[in-house]
């Protein structure tokens, strides 16, 4: 066994909104996450120490581990005696590696200097190292999934495609004639929803769950991924910096239009000052503060909350296909959490 720090499910529950009262389920998830951490470190170890150091950089930085946790949770719906515990753990580690790989690449694109309270890889080393480390994690995720068979290998390849397509769509922006809100939701579905959907799909299928359960958990994962991103967009505008634990207005400074901004541009066109502020990246603290104040008073924030509720309710509906159990209750608690954290 590795001496790597194992995440406590009790700590993770607060971070991702899971509420788990069943002690047996808590114990099983905690053991599973410990196994995932071991696999993560074993699979990225390299004979070249520099590669190992760069690859483990964000693993050591921590994070919510929501994707592997959801994979393990989805694995609770398998038929007894039909599932593959080792396969579920490998899949959970693989989806986390993919997520971490995207963070290395995102930090390069965003010119970030910090990630999870530590220096980002591009700041600690350089952009080339960060990009290549992300590629290394993608490669090792593929290696893990290859052990699981042809269907999981095809699924992870399709997920890679969705992640890249979503990033390219976000980078190029909506085309003339495209609905910017539909464009945003498509991007979020691909960039965030697709990997969480794969996490749920992997956990269910590798545990021997019925196909109807696999489909429900896949859809739930995609919808909850979209809802989480909308929720983050709302909180970035509505919550003070001391509650966020970071500076507000990053998207405003970078000229990224999140869902509340897009709705404000559509619904509040008579507010000419807000329209002016949202036209381009903001460079001064005063402009950011003014834009945040106007956005909080706009119908855009209200409309974004309504859209969040819509996706959370759709996600909850998907769970009705699943049998009543502590695992289903845990999934349902996430939908409640999303509504609570933005009101």
210-343, CATH topology level: Farnesyl Diphosphate Synthase (1.10.600)
pLDDT per position as a tens digit, 208-262: 999 999 999 999 999 999 999 999 999 888 876 544 444 667 788 888 899 999 9
Which residues does 174 contact at the CB level (< 8 Å), separation at least 6?
180, 183
CA distance readout (Å), 330 to 9, 11, 69, 149, 222: 12, 15, 11, 29, 17
Segment 75-129, tens digit of pLDDT: 999 986 566 889 999 999 999 999 999 988 877 876 666 675 678 878 878 788 8
Spans of all domains in the chain: 1-175, 210-343
Domain 1-175 falls in which CATH fold? Farnesyl Diphosphate Synthase (1.10.600)
Distance CA 10, CA 30 (A): 9
Q: Which stretch of 34-48, 114-128, 182-196 has the lowest confidence by average pLDDT?
A: 114-128
Q: In a 10 Å sphere around its CB, with 0-12 CB exposed, 13-18 middle and 19+ buried, how is residue 261 labelled?
A: buried
- Domains 1-175 and 210-343 alike in fold: yes
* pTM of the predicted model over 0.85: yes
The 8 Å CB, 24+ separation contacts for 183-186 are 184/257, 184/258, 184/259, 184/262, 185/226, 185/259
Q: What integer pLDDT is reported at residue 29 of this predicted model?
A: 92
Strands (E), the chain: 114-115, 118-119
Distance CA 210, CA 216 (A): 10
């Amino acid at each position: 066994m590795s001496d790597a720090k194992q995440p406590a499910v009790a700590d993770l529950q607060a971070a991702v909104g899971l509420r788990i009262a069943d002690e047996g389920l808590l114990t099983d998830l905690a053991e599973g996450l410990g196994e995932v951490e071991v696999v993560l470190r074993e699979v990225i170890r390299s004979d070249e120490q520099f590669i190992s150091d760069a690859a483990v950089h964000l693993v050591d930085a921590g994070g919510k581990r929501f994707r592997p946790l959801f994979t393990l949770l989805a694995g609770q719906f398998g038929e007894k005696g039909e599932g593959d515990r080792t396969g579920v753990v490998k899949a959970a580690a693989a989806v986390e590696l993919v997520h971490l790989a995207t963070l290395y690449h995102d930090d390069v694109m965003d010119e970030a200097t910090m990630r999870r309270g530590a220096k980002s890889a591009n700041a600690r080393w350089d952009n080339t190292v960060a990009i290549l480390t992300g590629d290394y994690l993608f490669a090792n995720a593929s290696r893990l999934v290859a052990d699981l068979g042809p269907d999981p290998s095809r699924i992870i390849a399709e997920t890679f495609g969705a992640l890249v397509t979503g990033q390219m769509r976000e980078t190029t922006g909506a085309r003339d004639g495209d609905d910017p809100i539909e464009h945003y939701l498509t991007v979020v579905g691909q960039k965030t929803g697709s990997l969480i959907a794969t996490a749920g799909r992997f956990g269910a299928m590798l545990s021997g769950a019925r196909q109807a359960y696999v489909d429900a958990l896949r859809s739930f994962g995609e919808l909850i991924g979209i809802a989480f991103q909308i929720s983050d967009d709302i909180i970035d505008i509505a919550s003070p910096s001391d509650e966020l634990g970071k500076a507000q207005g990053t998207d405003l400074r970078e000229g990224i239009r999140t869902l509340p901004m897009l709705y404000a541009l559509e619904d509040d066109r008579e507010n000419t000052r807000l329209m002016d502020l949202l036209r381009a990246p903001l460079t001064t603290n005063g402009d950011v503060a003014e834009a945040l104040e106007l956005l909080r008073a706009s119908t855009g924030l209200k409309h974004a909350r309504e859209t969040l509720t819509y996706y959370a309710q759709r996600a909850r509906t998907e769970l009705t296909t699943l049998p009543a159990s502590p695992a289903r209750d845990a999934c349902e608690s996430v939908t409640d959490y999303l509504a609570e954290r933005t009101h």
